[in-house]
Structure formats: structure tokens, C-alpha cells
């Protein structure tokens, strides 16, 4: 079901329109890709060039900026103490270029910083700054063997000071 009130750019690709629910006045920008079994609530705003994997739940109050990757099965939660009144629901903001791994759960009121990568299966409970990798439940920053190596020295020292990694890991890069 695709609401006639929704504003969907003509270049956005919804692979199986009969298998998604897009409610109310939500907005979907240019060159987005929407997989099947996705639910998008009224008022949701999705920017340009955003990929939404199959089985995502994106309720009212969520805003996803341009160039984000939302993996399959990602669940955004807007109601901290369900079932609560609509006026108590909290927004979630995913900033430009952020990448959310498969089956991540994002709790109400959280902002995810630009380009930050959330590892598969994580539960995001707090705001995340830009340009980091987090993983786990609750999602914590971690310097990893992959893309995390590109984090700046400043970020590594910061992580060390917060006791998120050992000195051996720092020396091994
Ligand atoms: C988070 C991620 C980027 C880390 O990749 P990486 O930098 O190459 O990290 P590594 O594979 O070297 O793993 C480093 C450590 O983190 C752990 N780890 C990796 N991914 C994890 C995750 N998602 N949750 C919890 N722990 C994770 C590993 O077990 C390893 O632990 P160890 O040091 O105790 O052995 C990656 O594992 C991930 O989850 N990517 C997202 C995949 C995805 O959802 N894609 C979209 C759908 S296709």
C-alpha cells in the first residue's frame, strides 16, 4: 500500500510496491532504493540516494538524510515506553552518509552522525558522533581491523582514554 499523500521522487525505485506499506505524507527522495516488506510511517523524511533494505520498520519521527545505507531488517523505535501517546514519541535522525548494518535496532531519540557505520545486529542506545564504527548491544565504539583503521589518531587516543581498547591494539594499528 502506497499512500497517495506520500511524496515519492519519480527516480526512487520501489522494487515491489505491492509488498511495502508507505503511509501518510512521508517523503522519499531521488534515486532511493526501497526493498520489499518495508514499512514507512507518516511524516518520515528520507533524502536522496538512500538504500533501504528489505524488512525495515521506519515509523513516524524518523529522518534519514542523503546517501545513507539502511541494511535489511533495521528497526527504528520511536516509543520509549510503549504503548505511549503519540506526543511522547521521540525522533531519530540518521545523518548524511551513515551506514546501518543488517538487523540493527535504533532506540528513540537517537542521532547517528555523518558517515558513521553501525555493525550488524547492534542496538543503538545513544547519539553517535560522525565517522566512527560501532557494534554490539549496546552499540559501542570499537577500533576494528577494517575501515576503522582509517580513524584519525585523535579518535584512537580518545577511544583509549575512554578505555574502549587496549594499548596493544593501538600499537598494532
Ligand atoms: C562492524 C563491522 C564493520 C566490523 O568489520 P571489521 O572492521 O572488518 O571487524 P572484524 O571483522 O575484524 O571484527 C573485529 C571484532 O569485532 C567483532 N565484530 C565484528 N562485527 C561485529 C558486529 N556486527 N557485532 C558485534 N561484534 C562484531 C568480531 O567478532 C571481532 O571480535 P574479536 O576482536 O573479539 O575477534 C562489520 O563486522 C559489520 O557488522 N558490518 C556490517 C555488515 C552489514 O550489516 N552489511 C549490510 C547488509 S549486507
- Per-residue pLDDT tens over the stretch 66-87: 999 999 999 999 999 999 998 9
The CB of 135 under 6 Å from ligand 1? The reply is yes
pLDDT digits (tens, 9 = 90+) for 132-159: 889 999 999 876 555 545 455 555 556 5
Task: Find out whether the peptide bond into 83 is cis, omega within 30 degrees of 0.
Answer: yes
Under a CB-based contact definition with an 8 Å cutoff, are residues 56 and 86 in contact? no
Assigned C-alpha cell, 10? 519519480
Q: How far is the CA of 45 from the centre of ligand 1 (A)?
A: 29
User: What residue ranges define each of the domains in the chain, with the CATH number in brackets?
Assistant: 7-142 (2.160.10.10)
pLDDT score for 132: 87
Percent of the chain's residues with pLDDT above 90: 77
Shortest-distance atom of ligand 1 to CA 149: 7
Q: Which residues contact 48 (CB under 8 A, 6 or more apart)?
A: 9, 29, 30, 31, 32, 66, 67
Q: How far is the CA of 53 from the centre of ligand 1 (A)?
A: 19
State the Cα angle at 37 between 33 and 42, rounded to 5°. 75
Residues 105-133, mean pLDDT to the nearest whole number:
95
d(CA 125, CA 108): 8
Which of 119, 156, 166, when mutated, tests ligand 1's pocket best, judged by the most ligand atoms within 8 Å of its CB?
119
Res 90 pLDDT > 90? yes
Q: Identify the residue whose cell numbers are 514499512.
A: 39
The CB of 102 under 6 Å from ligand 1? The reply is yes
d(CA 141, CA 132): 7
Amino acid at each position: 500500500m502506497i499512500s497517495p499523500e506520500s511524496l515519492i521522487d519519480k527516480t526512487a525505485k520501489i522494487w515491489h510496491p505491492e509488498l511495502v506499506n508507505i503511509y501518510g505524507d512521508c517523503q522519499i527522495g531521488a534515486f532511493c532504493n526501497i526493498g520489499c516488506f518495508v514499512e514507512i510511517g507518516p511524516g518520515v523524511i528520507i533524502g536522496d540516494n538512500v538504500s533501504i533494505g528489505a524488512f525495515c520498520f521506519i515509523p513516524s519521527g524518523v529522518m534519514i538524510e542523503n546517501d545513507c545505507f539502511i541494511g535489511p531488517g533495521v528497526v527504528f523505535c520511536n516509543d520509549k515506553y510503549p504503548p505511549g501517546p503519540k506526543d511522547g514519541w521521540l525522533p531519530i535522525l540518521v545523518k548524511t552518509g551513515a551506514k546501518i548494518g543488517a538487523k540493527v535496532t535504533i532506540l528513540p531519540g537517537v542521532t547517528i552522525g555523518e558517515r558513521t557505520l553501525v555493525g550488524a545486529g547492534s542496538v543503538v542506545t545513544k547519539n553517535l558522533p560522525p565517522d566512527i564504527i560501532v557494534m554490539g548491544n549496546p552499540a559501542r565504539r570499537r577500533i576494528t581491523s577494517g575501515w576503522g583503521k582509517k580513524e584519525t589518531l585523535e579518535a584512537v587516543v580518545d577511544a583509549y582514554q575512554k578505555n574502549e581498547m587496549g594499548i596493544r591494539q593501538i600499537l598494532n594499528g
